[in-house]
Structure 1
Amino acid sequence: MNPRVFILAIATFVVGTVELIIGGTLDLIAQDLQVTISSAGQLITIFSLAFSISAPLLLHLTRRVERKPLYLYTLAVFFLSNVLAAISPSYSVLMVARILSAASSSLLVVLSITIAAGIVDPAYRGRAIGIIFMGISGSLVLGVPVGLALGHAFGWRAPFWLIAALSIISMLFLIYFLPKVKTPEPVPIRKQFAILKNGKIISALLVSLFMLTGHLTLYAYFTPYLKTTMGIEANTLSLIYFVFGLAAVAGGGVGGWFSDKWGAQKAILWIVPLFALVMGVLPFFTQSLPVFLVIMVIWSALSWAISPAQQNYLIYSSPAAPDIPLGLNTSALHLGIAFGSIAGGMVVEQSSVIYTPWVGALFVVISFGFAIFSITRPVNAGAAATNQSVSNQTA
């Protein structure tokens, strides 16, 4: 395995951390900028929406630019966007900073995946992409506890300064260690999205979208939920998020083992409904912190246990060109984060944060419906031929 892949994974971890890092400090941001908590939560929403939309567009617009300079220039924009977020005097300026950060992040993540696949031997390509996805998932999981600890210790702006500093360090490593990468032949957007004519794949992508929508309906507002239902204080919050992060990382490993041993389809059909069930019963255990933590650990582990099974299932469903649905799945995940933040904000505004677990569980039930539909569809031979045509252009 080329060690430069791990440098790219670290850079991707830094980039991915910015998405949810404010999740634990929404109340601090709302108080400082004089907005509601649901308005502060939309800073997550706008990031995820901008991310999912920007990735294919920016990749198309920069298709003829050499990969290494493009990566470094985009990382510089990412650095500046986080500096702007750290010094933003108002909610509107912070919103602009989040959009710039999301756009640059989206391009950096896609570039990391394609560069990692291009600098290793074909036999190691799958593992290289897997390492990049570990950086992405790890950043989403650990972003909140890191932001929470720094935010409550030094103010909500501190996490953005940390990300800016880490992006400079990443840039220095990449300048010296990232080799020149051949610019691939561009594939038209319409051909990239032709795969969505395959009902089996589009319903599989909707599994990811609604699963993350349900998860973020609660997780984006988990801090106010804990404070409202259990009266949790800042120091205990940091511990809870740390435990949540460890459980999520462990869940990814367990999900991978389950997927390898029993098959991706069976793993999905078990994990998704169990996830809905756990979210649905979570509110009944807020009277006891130890019991609540046990249920929360299961919820957290299941939230990332689905990831390896879902990726394996998409590869199975599109064997000729698996990179395209995997890339679209990343966009679906971020759309789910955005929609979940919106849904959670609506619940908080219209009723109370205490209902977010039940609303989230309903979205996961919808995800399960799409999982059943997708798994019962046959692999489309015609779509495979289309995928092969696209794959030939990217080779």
Structure 2
Amino acid sequence: MGPWLVPLVLALFTFGTADFVVAGILRELAESLGTSEAAAGQLVTVYSIVYAVSAPLAAVATTRVPRRKLAGYAMLLFIAGNVVAAMAPTYEVLLVSRVVSAIAAAAVTPMCFGAAGTLPPEGQRGKALGMLSGGIMLAQLLGVPLGTWFGGMWGWQASFWMCVVLGVAVLVTMFALLPDLELPPAMGLRDRLAPVTRGPVLRGLSAMMLLSAGSMMMMTYIAPISDAASSVGTNGIAVLFIAAGLAGLVATQVGGTASDKLGPLRTVATGAGILVAAMVGLTVSVAWGSAPLWVLIGLVMVMAFGIGMLNPPLAVWLLSRAGSSGNEVMALNASVMYLGTSLGGVLGGTLLALSGPGALPVLAVVETLLVVLLVVTAERRSAGTGEDAPAAGAADEPAAAPSRAH
């Protein structure tokens, strides 16, 4: 791993912080702009939806733009969007600034994943992608609490000024540390999108969406689940979130390294097994109703560890089948992660209202098994048809990503 990885991780940390920091300053922001907390919460939703839609469009539209030039323009746009947000006099202006910031982030993120999946030697690509996933996890563990603290100390505008500073840091480090990245080979739009339309890649993307939906569902509704299992109070919930963040941060590194050493498929199976075990434990705890807090902390940490282990090998697997369309596939990967996040909130809320908190871990088990089924069947299909398949005998070896950086 070289210094080029620093701006990539910092970029993912910055974009994740900018997305979710609104949640920590919701009340102050709503009061200042004269709107409801529900309307203020839509600032997160709009950012996520715009990001999900923009990522694949930006990937296709910027195919022939030099990577560092693309990163420079996009980061300037991201910085400008957050400057406007910090100075926004009305809710409407703030909403537009969120759209601008999301478009900028969507243009850079696929490039980050493509570079991390192609610049390192083959035996370290999973580790690099794991570190990028760790940047996203660190945003929730450190970036959002820090932004919330700034907002509480100096007003909600300070949270967006923090994002401006982070954006400047990304821009500077990208030009200082990121090497020139080769453009993908010139080819028509149909050829570039061909891998995306094939069964293996579509199943891999579906697996990533299901994983995102299940993980967000469990984290969003961890409070009612914990209350049903052990009547956990606010302080206990805070401890659970911190424990989950730490476990997830470690797991992304373990998952990336394991993907390099064991291969993506074995790593996915291992992470899925860990996650299912945690879900079974949570289901039993909810049925018990008197589980000690330390038991819940342990189960939540195991759950977060299983989730964190699954992200890097899925990204490695997708890149190994993307060929010269790695940028487009990674853009869609980012999109389905955000769509899965939204889907998880809706499914979890509906199931919670209909069947209670005990049903959520059960649904998470079903989603996890579907993730494994999708990846396994995608691997068999690609091996059987020869489409986007790795070299013979490499089906369960560390996957080789494309030879060019995107």
Q: The residue matched to 2:366 in structure 1 has which SS?
A: helix
Distance 2:310 2:38 in 1: 28
Task: Give the stretch that moved more between structures: 177-186 or 121-130.
Answer: 121-130
Report % sequence identity: 25
Pair 1:330-2:334 in alignment: yes
Pair 1:209-2:212 in alignment: no
**Which residue, out of 266, 269, 274, partners 1:266?**
269
**Which residue, out of 272, 277, 280, partners 2:280?**
277
Residues 56 and 332 in structure 2, CA contact (< 8 A), matched pair in contact too = no
Scaled by the length of structure 2, what TM-score is found? 0.75
Shift of 1:54: 0.9
Could you tell me which runs of 5 or more consecutive residues in structure 2 were left unpaired when the two chains were aligned: 391-401
* Alignment correspondent of 2:164: 164
The structure-2 alpha-carbon separation of the partners of 1:251 and 1:265, relative to structure 1 and needing over 3 Å to count, comes to closer
Distance 2:238 2:55 in 1: 32
Distance 1:322 1:286 in 2: 51
Note the alpha carbon deviations across 1:172-207, whole angstroms, 9 max, x for none: 333444444444335555444433444344233222
The structure-2 alpha-carbon separation of the partners of 1:53 and 1:108, relative to structure 1 and needing over 3 Å to count, comes to same
Shift of 1:266: 2.6
Distance 2:101 2:160 in 1: 11
**Which residue, out of 298, 315, 320, partners 1:311?**
315
Residues 318 and 329 in structure 2, CA contact (< 8 A), matched pair in contact too = yes
The structure-2 alpha-carbon separation of the partners of 1:26 and 1:60, relative to structure 1 and needing over 3 Å to count, comes to same
Residues 278 and 300 in structure 2, CA contact (< 8 A), matched pair in contact too = no
The structure-2 alpha-carbon separation of the partners of 1:67 and 1:394, relative to structure 1 and needing over 3 Å to count, comes to closer
Look up the equivalent residue of 1:100 and give its one-letter code: V
Note the alpha carbon deviations across 1:258-283, whole angstroms, 9 max, x for none: 65459235325414533543564575
Residues 226 and 232 in structure 1, CA contact (< 8 A), matched pair in contact too = no
Distance 1:344 1:28 in 2: 27
Note the alpha carbon deviations across 1:217-237, whole angstroms, 9 max, x for none: 34346689989964426xx77
* Alignment correspondent of 2:106: 106
Shift of 1:104: 0.8
Structure 1 residues 112-261: aligned runs within 5 Å = 112-115=112-115, 128-220=128-220, 230-232=232-234, 240-256=240-256, 260=261
Distance 1:380 1:208 in 2: 18
Distance 2:85 2:32 in 1: 13
Structure 1 residues 54-93: aligned runs within 5 Å = 54-93=54-93
Q: The residue matched to 1:63 in structure 2 has which SS?
A: coil
Distance 1:124 1:257 in 2: 7
Note the alpha carbon deviations across 1:358-378, whole angstroms, 9 max, x for none: 447525523423532542451
Shift of 1:342: 4.3
Distance 1:171 1:65 in 2: 17
Distance 1:192 1:387 in 2: 17
Look up the equivalent residue of 2:277 and give its one-letter code: L
Pair 1:9-2:18 in alignment: no
Look up the equivalent residue of 1:165 and give its one-letter code: V
The structure-2 alpha-carbon separation of the partners of 1:167 and 1:373, relative to structure 1 and needing over 3 Å to count, comes to closer
Look up the equivalent residue of 1:304 and give its one-letter code: G
Shift of 1:77: 0.9
Structure 1 residues 35-50: aligned runs within 5 Å = 38-50=38-50
Could you tell me which runs of 5 or more consecutive residues in structure 1 were left unpaired when the two chains were aligned: none
Task: Give the stretch that moved more between structures: 65-74 or 37-46.
Answer: 37-46
* Alignment correspondent of 1:369: 370
Look up the equivalent residue of 2:339 and give its one-letter code: L
Q: The residue matched to 1:21 in structure 2 has which SS?
A: helix
Residues 117 and 129 in structure 2, CA contact (< 8 A), matched pair in contact too = yes
Residues 21 and 147 in structure 1, CA contact (< 8 A), matched pair in contact too = yes
Residues 320 and 385 in structure 1, CA contact (< 8 A), matched pair in contact too = no
Distance 1:56 1:253 in 2: 27
Shift of 1:347: 7.4
Distance 1:35 1:322 in 2: 43
The structure-2 alpha-carbon separation of the partners of 1:173 and 1:373, relative to structure 1 and needing over 3 Å to count, comes to closer
Look up the equivalent residue of 1:368 and give its one-letter code: L
Note the alpha carbon deviations across 1:272-306, whole angstroms, 9 max, x for none: 53354356457566885444333332232223122
Shift of 1:107: 1.1
Note the alpha carbon deviations across 1:124-158, whole angstroms, 9 max, x for none: 66655554444344335544433444444444443
Distance 2:158 2:258 in 1: 39
Distance 1:132 1:98 in 2: 23
Aligned length: 388
Scaled by the length of structure 1, what TM-score is found? 0.77
Task: Give the stretch that moved more between structures: 224-233 or 322-331.
Answer: 224-233
Task: Give the stretch that moved more between structures: 332-341 or 171-180.
Answer: 171-180
Distance 1:130 1:252 in 2: 5
